[in-house]
């Protein structure tokens, strides 16, 4: 059995397990083994030292790695040790540090969100919400959690009938549709995804919301020259696509369209410290994606006279959301394999299970930051809960 592989896996997996290669088995660790890792093909030393996540992730996608317990349970045992993973930044430079040009970022966004509405419809809930839900009650369904999340955001924004609301990175539009129907606001959503734009456009027409809502294929960097103004701005799950070095430009554009005393809510996956991102995720799931740290976003806000009113973590809610998505995904796995192949299905299940484990272990977090442009003394005294 390959001594390097044994030593390396023992280094990054803090629990006891069985490593199997062909007819050989080796127990690693002193406690009762928690699971068995079956290597159908030996792991390449150079690949492991270049990127642990790429090497293990690609091996799992190919079927070269199998585990005898639930994938999430296995990943949850060691994703908290990701700081021990190897990443050769020099060798991975082109993958990790991609261009923040408009053309490239549009291509990166579309590579993920334009896989197809039919694909996402298979495992998202009826709202087509592709962001963290909010489980107010233990028994809340995924659908109810997504409705809760949107209502939680809209409550924080203190909406009133007739107000104007901009959604930067509006997805398939559920938040704006609910804001229009429940509060009577007039809203604009912007996205770079053609699939999202087409569906949201159809929904606006079919649901009779043309007098209140519109959706635009627009880069956030074009907001400051758009001439538009809003009393409220929201952005859910979009700042992860902005890229380190462009957060100031993002806030400049929010500032340009947000009226004085207006409110903005930023909802984004966050990190405790600044990090370039995971190589496997960047290659196969979110090209160019970078998770901001909470502090780097908070520190930018005073430069634009933005007052921080509230910061809330939804980390455990995202763990639960991802596990719901994975359950739905696996219920339609045969259909996904038929449409897109076994390797694609293994890749996406790994993505959903691994992300759930990283939230559970605190490798990543998710925060909602509520800010005002200048001082706003007209808001309720008590926090929205």
**C-alpha to C-alpha distance for 352 and 79, rounded to whole angstroms:** 13
Q: Which residues pair with 164 in a beta bridge?
A: 186
CB atoms under 10 Å from CB of 56, counted, come to 22
In angstroms, what is the C-alpha Rg of the chain?
Answer: 22
Burial of 282 (0-12, 13-18, 19+ CB in 10 A): buried
**C-alpha to C-alpha distance for 357 and 98, rounded to whole angstroms:** 26
**C-alpha to C-alpha distance for 220 and 224, rounded to whole angstroms:** 8
| Residue of 77, 132, 170, 355 marked active site | 355
**C-alpha to C-alpha distance for 127 and 146, rounded to whole angstroms:** 7
Q: Are the C-beta atoms of 277 and 289 separated by less than 8 Å?
A: yes
**For residue 184, what is the DSSP state?**
-
Identify which of 333, 361, 364 has the alpha carbon closest to the alpha carbon of residue 347.
333
Angle at 85 between CA 81 and CA 86, to 5 degrees: 165
Q: For 299-311, b where at least 16 C-beta lie within 10 A, e where not — what string?
A: ebbeebebeebee
**C-alpha to C-alpha distance for 211 and 83, rounded to whole angstroms:** 51
355 in catalytic set: yes
Identify which of 126, 187, 198 has the alpha carbon closest to the alpha carbon of residue 161.
187
Helix axes 342-360, 52-62, angle to 10 degrees: 140
Q: Catalytic residue positions?
A: 355
């Amino acid at each position: 059995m390959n001594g390097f592989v044994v030593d390396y896996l023992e280094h990054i997996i803090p629990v006891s397990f069985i490593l199997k290669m062909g007819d050989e088995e080796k127990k690693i660790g002193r406690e009762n083994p928690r699971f068995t890792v079956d290597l159908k093909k030996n792991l390449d030393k150079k690949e492991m030292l270049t990127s642990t996540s790429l090497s293990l992730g690609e091996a799992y996608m190919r079927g070269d790695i199998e585990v005898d317990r639930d994938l999430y349970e296995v990943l949850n045992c060691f994703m908290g040790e990701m700081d021990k993973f190897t990443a050769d930044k020099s060798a991975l430079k082109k993958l990790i540090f991609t261009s923040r040009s408009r053309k490239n970022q549009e291509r990166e966004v579309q590579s993920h969100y334009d896989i197809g509405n039919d694909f996402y419809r298979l495992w998202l809930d009826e709202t087509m919400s592709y962001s963290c839900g909010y489980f107010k009650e233990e028994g809340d369904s995924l659908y109810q959690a997504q409705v809760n999340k949107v209502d939680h955001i809209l409550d924080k924004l203190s909406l009133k009938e007739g107000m104007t609301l901009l959604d930067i990175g509006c997805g398939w539009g559920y938040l704006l549709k609910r804001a229009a129907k429940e509060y009577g606001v007039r809203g604009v959503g912007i996205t770079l995804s053609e699939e999202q734009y087409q569906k949201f456009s159809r929904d606006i027409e079919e649901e009779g919301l043309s007098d209140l809502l519109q959706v635009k294929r627009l880069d956030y960097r074009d907001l400051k020259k758009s001439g538009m103004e809003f009393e409220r701005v929201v952005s859910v799950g979009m700042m992860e696509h902005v890229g380190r070095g462009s957060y100031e430009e993002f806030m400049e554009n929010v500032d340009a369209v947000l009226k004085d005393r207006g409110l903005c809510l930023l909802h984004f996956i966050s990190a405790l410290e600044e990090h370039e991102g995971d190589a496997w995720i960047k290659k196969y799931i979110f090209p160019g994606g970078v998770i901001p740290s909470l502090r780097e976003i908070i520190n930018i806000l005073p430069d634009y006279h933005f007052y921080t009113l509230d910061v809330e973590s939804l980390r455990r809610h995202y763990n639960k959301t991802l596990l719901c998505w994975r359950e739905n995904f696996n219920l339609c796995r045969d259909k996904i394999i038929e449409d897109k192949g076994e390797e694609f299905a293994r890749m996406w299940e790994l993505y959903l299970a691994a992300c759930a484990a990283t939230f559970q272990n605190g490798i990543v977090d998710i925060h909602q930051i509520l800010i005002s442009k200048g001082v706003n003394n007209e808001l309720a005294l008590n926090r929205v809960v």
